[in-house]
Amino acid sequence: MELISDSDDGDTSEWETDEDDGDERPPLNPPLPSASVAGPSQKVSEASSSRPDLVLHFMAMGFSEDMVVKAIEENGEGNTEAILETLLTHSAIGISPLKREQSPVDCTLSSDEDVLGDDLSDMSNFEYSSEDEEYTVECSDKDRKLSILIDMGFPADEASSAITRCGPTAPVLEIADSIHAAQLAAESALTEDDLFPSWSEDKPMASYACGSSVKNKRKYYEMKKMNERGCFLDRKKACFRQANMGDGFPSGSSIPKPMIGFSLPNQKMKPVNRMLPEAAIGPPYFYYENVALAPKGVWETISRFLYDIEPEFVDSKFFCAANRKRGYVHNLPIQNRFPLQPLPPRTVQEALPMTKKWWPTWDHRTQLNCLQTCIASAKLTERIRSALVNSEDPPPERVQRFVMNECKKWNLVWVGLHKVAPLEPDEMEMLLGFPRDHTRGGGISRTERYRSLGNSFQVDTVAYHLSVLKEMFPNGINLLSLFSGIGGAEVALNRLGIHLRNVVSVELSEINRNIIRGWWEQTNQTGNLIEIADVQHLNGDKLEQMINMFGGFDLVIGGSPCNNLAGSNRYSRDGLEGKESALFYDYFRILDLVKNIMGKSF
């Protein structure tokens, strides 16, 4: 998975929610009613007694006989749910199954192209031939589903992203479920009756469906899916109640300035008396990290899912020579923390003393901005050099302004007279608290090193928070590391002198897994390292097996991808609905499973 810059720059954005009507939903397993079921009575009374009960049942909902018959032929008589979905879907796009066969949906989009961006607007530039037949069929199917989803009330960009995520062959309802699975931030805008209706098994389906819209059907499917994930349903109901009762993370609260967290090394601060909610108390301890300047509502949602713990927002500029604004949700003690020794440099010129000779007096930077996953081009650094060479000394204000804007944006440092350059990977490793050459070798390119480092923890910051574990686990720790990246948590614990007894590292990138494995071997770790590639493949059975093997996990740590949260992402900053950042819910899913399994076993 290719990750983008996790720069914190950019203000938070407001994200609107899609409010649905609060009509009743059909029961999960509705009984099939007879022909006398109440519905649009006129249509039922006009129906011929020779018609099958199944046809009459759906005609009672207001569907035409032709549509019903064709939908039954498509799905079979035994699958009433699929029949209903077919009817609702074709009602949404305004055609019947019969018309669909005669007039396929047009693949062109028109007004939606501007909303969807380059992914679909470029389609018109292709000249299709017989060689493109397979692509044409896929395009047509994708855009037909896109049109359906838009008519169902989904935003065009979310629908397009979900189709890409689920695949062009996925059913419309599966895609709709995918869109809604991450839209949990909207729960506070709904009433509890909307989210948790009192379905009655003895009510006929028609009494629910006559007034229901496609949006209500979509919400019904969301709740059905949540019911199948028992812990998610319970958690969402609790989130709703706390959001409306004023408990937990306060709605609309702002990120503190400066971001100093609950304490800083060697600085006297007002003591914080933190009371954890009962559900948050371990075992295990857990620690979650992500970018602080996320879209509006993201941290409220993260807090509610992680047992209503108030986030601790910290800027790494208090720990090293680079800014890195992050939020941390954890149930660790906050007293008796201590920093890693030796303390890292806090200014650029202390961290990179070779640059001091060339640093101009008009560059007043003492610290770098957030370290990113990409660097400035050689063309840019040459433009800066040319601008300075052709200017007076000192250069005019407009030149200074141009140079400083680019230096701040790309973290350029002075390496010679009139010469700036990006940070080298080993310099980034040092600033982030990793050992020298941590990401070097093993066939890893410079580009891959920058990408991996830009998405990592700042080790000194994380180690300060984890330092409380040293006295608590003198014999070592069992660690479940989710979204391990290049092993920031493992490096932090090792530098604290905490023995890594058993580490289960879950990381999708093979490059990052190689980096962790190389570090594990080079530092002569004596514990057990278990590697798992995909966090979505980590289920309850595997967790229970490992918990029984190790005797439980002491710490569950991780920072899910920030791709759809970071301020630098101007194209898919979709919050927790985004393809990558929605993996936060897997962090919660796994943590909740671990807590439940350990609660039963110990």
Task: Kindly list the catalytic residues.
Answer: 562
Q: Nearest to residue 8, comparing CAs of 272, 258, 372, 288?
A: 372
| Max Cα–Cα distance, the chain, nearest Å | 97
Please enumerate in sequence order all residues whose Cβ is within 8 A of that of 26, keeping only pairs 6 or more positions apart, or say none. Answer: 84, 199, 205, 208, 209, 212, 220
Strand (E) or helix (H) holding 67:
helix 65-75
Query: Taking a C-beta distance cutoff of 8 angstroms, is the pair 222, 177 a contact?
Result: yes
Among 69, 39, 79, 106, which residue's Cα sits nearest to residue 173?
79
- The CA distance from 308 to 439, in Å, is 36
Q: Which residues pair with 414 in a beta bridge?
A: 420
Distance CA 41, CA 48 (A): 13
Side chain identity, residue 305: F
481 in Cβ contact with 460 (< 8 Å): no
Output the DSSP codes for 149-212: HHHTT--HHHHHHHHHHH-TTS-HHHHHHHHHHT-GGGGGGS-HHHHS----TTS-HHHHHTT-
Q: Both ends of the chain: CA-CA distance in Å?
A: 37
Contacts of 594 (CB under 8 A, 6+ apart): 284, 480, 543, 547, 553, 556
